[in-house]
Amino acid sequence: MRPASGRIIDFVSLQGNPGTQSAYRGAIRRYLDFVYGPVRKGHHATQEEGHRYEELAEDYFTGGYNHAVDLQRFAASLNAAKTPPKTAQFWLIVAKEFFKFNGVIIDDDLWKMTKRRGPKGRRARTREATFNKDLIQKILPFMPLQVRAVFLTMVSSGTRIGETLDLTMADIHLDEEPVRIEIPGDITKSGDPRTTFISRDKGLLKYHGQEARPRSGEEARLIFPARATTSQASFWGALEKAGVDDRDSKTNRRQIHLHQCRKYFRTAAAQRIPVDAVELMMGHEGYLSDAYVRYSLDELRQYYVQAEPVLCVGVSDDLAGVIVGGRLDALKEENITLRAELTQIQRQIATMNAMQADVGATPEALQRLVDERIKAMMSERGKI
């Protein structure tokens, strides 16, 4: 059985987000694999292998190892293996925190030296394929219904894969147009809740309306009852069937991945609406402070409707315009009505100001204006 406690379990449990816990656990195991040799035989550790990692962690901090040298050697090995810089930096930071948790302090000079030995650069080394609507529509026909719905949700809402799969039926408002999603803080990367929307794409509507969807039990609570690994595998399968499963010649990593859905949302939406509105829907709190930029729910909804045509990627541009057109026409009519009312109010104010000025000059002017107004009203009614 998996141990109830241990150095790794105790450390990882301090991270509140399940996704962060998984990432931290994986980083520590990578480090222990480097020191002791690989433990895992598959992509995921079994219970026995997890127990073995706990034994190795206990041995590592009680067996007289040179932690400073090991950490630098680990950094150098990541550089030699051409590990992507961001991935390597994350693994090193987690290892440093794990050391501190277990009473081993890495001072600033040693940390600078360690980082110098690791991979350089801040950008991903894998050259990504151009992720546009044409490419998306090549992939979609090869996706199972649920994976397609997950994919379209991510593209049209800017959500991450973990956030998307953790959404419950209580978080989605199918009775609204466009459909609103309230993402709770306990499943977001930042820990803050946020609001976004999904497009009125036929693939999404078909999924949410299907009878085959689970209607009872724990699966019915989730919008998409699936694991991230399963969705990822299905996505890779669709890439292969579509003939676009290309890999970078240097890193051997796929040039198309699910996180590009979020990037597409950012790029496409920002061409139609203010960037700060896009960033708020994506939850990029580091980009701006909500103390300076605040949008009401209606304002966010109207901005989303303006961007929605480029986010309906499952249909042609013409059909996307038809889908969204009705809502846009309503907004245009509402805008015209409001402008007409504003113009009328401005004219009334101007008339009142003129009357005040004339009255101030001569009392006779007030009587003249009143008489003219009465005459005009009677004329409108056809009495003179």
Residues 347, 341: Cα–Cα separation, whole Å: 10
Residues 141 and 46 in one domain: no
374, part of any domain: yes
| Least confident stretch, 87-101, 190-204, 274-288, 345-359 | 345-359
pLDDT in tens, 48-79: 999 999 999 999 999 889 999 999 999 999 99
Each residue's pLDDT tens digit, 305-324: 999 988 988 765 554 555 55
On the question of pLDDT at 1 being above 50, the answer is no
Please state, in angstroms and rounded to a whole number, the distance separating the CA atoms of residues 137 and 374.
66
71 and 210 both lie in a single domain = no
Q: State the pLDDT at residue 30.
A: 95
Which residues are CB-contacts of 295 (< 8 A; sequence separation ≥ 6)?
A: 277, 280, 303
In a domain, 320, yes or no: no
Q: Is the pLDDT at 288 greater than 60, yes or no? A: no
Residues 206 and 306 in one domain: yes
The reply to whether 123 falls in a domain is: no
| Contact indicator for 187, 162 with CB cutoff of 8 Å | yes
- Flag whether the pTM goes above 0.85: no
Closest CA relative to residue 155, chosen from 87, 203, 100, 97 = 203
Half-sphere exposure of 99 (CA within 13 A, CB side): 19
pLDDT at 211: 43
CA distances from 356 to 126, 270, 280, 343 (A): 72, 48, 48, 20
Q: How many domains does the chain have?
A: 3
Domain span at 346: 328-380
Top-confidence residue, 27 or 18: 27
* Alpha-carbon dihedral sign for residues 222, 228, 229, 231: positive
One domain, residues 291 and 196: yes
* Predicted local distance difference test score (pLDDT) of residue 296: 85
Looking at the structure, tell me whether residues 273 and 342 fall in a common domain.
Answer: no
pLDDT at residue 189, rounded to an integer: 81
pLDDT on residue 293: 60
Report yes or no on 57 lying in a domain: yes
Model confidence band, residue 112 (pLDDT cutoffs 50, 70, 90): very high
Instruction: Say whether both 273 and 349 belong to one domain.
Output: no
The answer as to whether 223 is a domain residue is: yes
Residue ending a domain, among 271, 293, 315, is 315
- Cα–Cα distances in angstroms (integers) from residue 173 to residues 196, 197, 374, in the given order: 11, 9, 53
Same domain, 339 and 294: no
Residue 257: inside a domain: yes
Over the stretch 142-162, which tens digit does the pLDDT of each residue have? 998 889 989 999 999 999 999
Last residue of a domain, one of 117, 145, 165: 117
Among residues 259, 286, 315, the one where a domain terminates is 315
Q: Which of 55-59, 246-250, 341-345 has the lowest mean pLDDT?
A: 341-345
My answer on whether 292 and 338 are in the same domain is no
Residue 160 shares a structural domain with residue 301: yes
CATH of the domain at 158: 1.10.443.10
List Cβ neighbours of 242 (8 Å cut-off, separation of 6 or more): 138, 139, 141, 142
Cα dihedral: 205, 210, 216, 217 (round 10): -70
- Residues 138 and 189 grouped into a single domain: yes
> Domain for residue 198, yes or no?
yes
